[in-house]
């Protein structure tokens, strides 16, 4: 397959060509040569889409709910992009669960773009490429972008760095899951969804969530998280859920929080890029010094310590940066 030049790829994506969108996201996920130039070219065309993050414990029905969300958005005339971040294969690094079956209701709709992406070991549940893929969908012209994460846990907080609105799914009668929310997930949710609300224990779970949210400290003017009930399999409650998402979107605009979110998002992206570049730079320097194994052998032999080697490697780089700053 012939390689498409970055400017042509960007032009085709902005022209609404799905093949260009797919190729762009592939380049982003693989960190292929030139992907940064592509993302930089897309930046001026972003900022119009609403990005919704869907997270929650395994088995809470995230994929089924995302399917029904996409269907209702399409019925309303919205164009939809979905990124499902799946566990990584230990052999290929690719997405283990990624398939189109989970989007059965919209699988033949060209205005719903679905992509599975690997978490690639990210503790926060999101691949480092996810934010860039969201930009590609945004620049393409998607009105709604849904990011479904691997699962929930104390480290599952990276979604707030990508999504405008975060929905946390909690299954009924899941006392352990509700208790887990106290460990950190409670702080990231804008909406809490008790899915499978037709099961026993749903009312209790709703009550527990509301009680926990009432005890949460909040500043005046902050968004008050809501608890909604859905039965994603049948679609019951999904329309009300989307209404709450719209309410949060309106609040972001009216309160000025959207601009604050954008500023924080750009700051986090810059930090991540600097970490990646610094890591690559140090890896090259270690290779030039004989590789990590050779340096560790000196530590094993008692000739030096990890601290001394780190100072030795980083010192010249720090001096170069200081000289350039002066």
Mean pLDDT, each 10-residue run in order, the chain (326 residues): 75 97 94 93 96 88 94 96 72 43 66 83 62 96 93 62 92 66 74 94 90 83 94 96 98 96 91 89 92 95 96 93 87
The answer on 169 and 38 residing in a single domain is no
The answer on 144 and 226 residing in a single domain is yes
Please tell me the pTM assigned to this model.
0.87
The answer on 62 and 208 residing in a single domain is yes
How many other C-beta atoms are found inside a 10 Å radius of the C-beta of residue 286? 16
The answer on 39 and 96 residing in a single domain is no
The answer on 289 and 201 residing in a single domain is no
Residue 259 lies in a domain: no
What integer pLDDT is reported at residue 128 of this predicted model? Answer: 72
Contact 131, 5 (CB under 8 A): no
Q: Where are the alpha helices (DSSP H) in the chain?
A: 6-14, 18-30, 35-42, 62-75, 130-140, 175-181, 202-214, 238-255, 257-288, 292-300, 306-325
What integer pLDDT is reported at residue 285 of this predicted model? Answer: 92
The answer on 53 and 37 residing in a single domain is no
The answer on 206 and 61 residing in a single domain is yes
The answer on 159 and 40 residing in a single domain is no
**Parallel, antiparallel or unpaired: strands 80-86 and 50-56:** unpaired
Q: Count the domains in the chain.
A: 3
The answer on 120 and 1 residing in a single domain is no
Residue 260 lies in a domain: no
Question: Domain range holding 186?
Answer: 46-254
The answer on 302 and 212 residing in a single domain is no
What integer pLDDT is reported at residue 98 of this predicted model? Answer: 47
Per the DSSP assignment, residues forming a β-bridge with 95 are: 88
Residue 13 lies in a domain: yes
- 202, 225, 254: which is the final residue of a domain? 254
What integer pLDDT is reported at residue 66 of this predicted model? Answer: 95
- 45, 61, 81: which is the final residue of a domain? 45
Residue 285 lies in a domain: yes
The answer on 134 and 41 residing in a single domain is no
The answer on 105 and 38 residing in a single domain is no
Residue 136 lies in a domain: yes
Residue 273 lies in a domain: yes
- 254, 283, 301: which is the final residue of a domain? 254
């Amino acid at each position: 397959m012939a390689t498409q030049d970055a400017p042509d790829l960007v032009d085709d994506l902005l022209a609404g060509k799905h093949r260009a969108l797919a190729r762009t996201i592939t380049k982003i996920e693989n960190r292929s040569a030139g992907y940064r130039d592509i993302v930089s070219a897309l930046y001026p065309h972003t900022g119009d889409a609403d990005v919704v993050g869907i997270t929650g414990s395994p088995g809470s029905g995230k994929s089924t709910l995302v399917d029904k969300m996409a269907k209702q958005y399409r019925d309303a005339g919205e164009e939809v992009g979905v990124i499902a971040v799946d566990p990584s294969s230990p052999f290929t690094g690719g997405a283990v669960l990624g398939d189109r079956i989970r989007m059965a209701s919209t699988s033949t709709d060209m205005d719903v773009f679905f992509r599975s992406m690997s978490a690639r070991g990210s503790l926060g549940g999101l691949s480092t490429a996810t934010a860039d893929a969201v930009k590609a969908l945004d620049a393409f012209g998607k009105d709604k972008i849904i990011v479904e994460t691997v699962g929930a846990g104390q480290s599952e907080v990276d979604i707030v760095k990508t999504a405008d609105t975060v929905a946390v799914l909690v299954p009924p009668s899941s006392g352990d899951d509700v208790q887990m929310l106290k460990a950190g997930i409670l702080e990231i949710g804008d909406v809490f969804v008790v899915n499978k609300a037709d099961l026993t224990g749903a009312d209790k779970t709703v009550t527990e969530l509301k009680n926990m949210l009432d005890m949460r400290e909040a500043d005046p003017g902050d968004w008050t998280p809501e608890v909604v009930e859905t039965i994603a399999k049948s679609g019951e409650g999904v329309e009300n859920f989307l209404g709450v998402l719209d309410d949060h979107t309106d609040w972001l605009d009216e309160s000025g929080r959207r601009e604050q979110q954008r500023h924080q998002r750009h700051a986090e992206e810059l930090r991540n890029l600097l970490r990646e570049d610094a890591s690559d730079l140090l890896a090259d320097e270690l290779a030039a010094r004989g590789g990590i194994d050779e340096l560790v052998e000196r530590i094993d032999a008692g000739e030096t310590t990890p601290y001394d080697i780190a100072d030795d490697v980083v010192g010249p780089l720090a001096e170069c940066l200081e000289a350039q700053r002066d």
